[in-house]
Structure 1
Amino acid sequence: MNWTDERVEKLKRLWAEGLSASQIAAQLGGVSRNAVIGKVHRLNLPGRAKAGGSSSAARPAKRATQTQRPTTFQARPAANATTRTVARASGATLLKEEVEVDAFHEVEVSRPLNVVVPISRRLALTELTERTCKWPIGDPMKDDFHFCGCEINDASPYCTYHAKLAYQPVSDRRKAAR
C-alpha cells in the first residue's frame, strides 16, 4: 500500500481528532492498524486528544485513600496538599493528568508496652553452639555486633522471643501488608 499525500493528510487529521488506529485504518481502507501506528511514528505526530474531550476534565483525579492500619506507626499528613502532573499510559498513548498529592512527614512510632525483650548473652560467631540463639544484633561491620545467645528449643535456631519475630503466621503477615 502506498501512502499518498491525500491519505497522509487524512491520517493526520483523523489522528488529531483523537480516533484510534483501528478506526483510522477502517476509514482509510486497505491498511492495518499496525500500518497506521507505524506511519504515525514515522511522521513523529504528537500525542493526540482522546475522543470526547480531555481525560482530566472527563474524570476526576484519583486520590489515594489512606487506610488506617493496625500497625504501630502512623504518618500524619502535612498541612498542605500539592498538585502534580503525572504521566500514565492509556493503551499505547501516554497521558498527562494533574493529581492532588498529600505530602506526608513526621512518623510517630509507638511501641507496645507489654513486650519483654530477653537479655542477650552477646556471643560472637565463634562462641555459638547448637543450643544458643543465632539471632544477629547490630551491624556486622561494627565492633559491637553480636548474637543473642540465649537458650533455644530444639525446633528453631532462635530463642522463643526471636522465633516469634522470625516465624509469623501467614494471617499476621497479610494484615501487616495491608
Structure 2
Amino acid sequence: MGWTDERVELLKKRWGDGLSASQIAAELGGVTRNAVIGKVHRLGLSGRAKSATSSVSRMRAKPAGQPRRPAPTAAPRQPSFATRGNAALAVSHAPAPRPTPAPRIVPIEVVETALVCERVTIMELRENMCRWPLGDPSQPEFRFCGGRSTPGAAYCPHHSQVAYQPANDRRNRRISAPAH
C-alpha cells in the first residue's frame, strides 16, 4: 500500500500520541515498522509526546520515608554501552578502568657489520640491490642502501636482519626488558 494523505495524517497523529513504529504499522496495515520509521524521518517528525504510563513504569518506585543514598563519588565513571537486547543503547555507568603503564619499547640493537651502503637514488636502483630507505623521503638527500642483496630478497643481509625478526624474539626482548 502507498502513503496516501489520510495514511500520512494518521501516521503523524499516532506518532504524536507516542505510539511505537510497530504499533503504527499494525494499525495502518500493509506497511512494516521500518517503512513507518523511514516515513517519519522523511517527514521530519522529531520528538513526540511520552505517555504518562510509560515514563512512570520505567522509574523505580521507592517506598516513602526511606532517604535516598547518595551515589558513591570515589571514582569517576565512564559510560559503557550494552550491545544486545532491549537495552542496547541504554547507558550504564561502569567504574573507570585503571591506567596501565605503557609497555617499554626496547630499541633493536643493530650489530655493525661490514655494511656497504651505496646510497643510490630510485632511478639508480637495480635488481639485486638493497631497497632499504635511508633518510626522509621528502628531502632531496633521500637514498636507498643499494648494497648487494640475494636474488629474490628486497634487502641486503644486514637490513634483512633488521627487517625480518621472528615474533618470538621480539616478544622475548620486550618481556626481558628492565622496568623503569
Report the TM-score range of the alignment, normalised by the length of the smaller protein: 0.3 to 0.5
Q: Which structure has more RCO (C-alpha within 8 Å, separation ≥ 6)? A: 1
Q: Greater CA radius of gyration, 1 or 2?
A: 2
More strand by share: 1
Q: Structure 2 length as normaliser, TM-score?
A: 0.47
Q: TM-score, length-normalised on structure 1?
A: 0.47
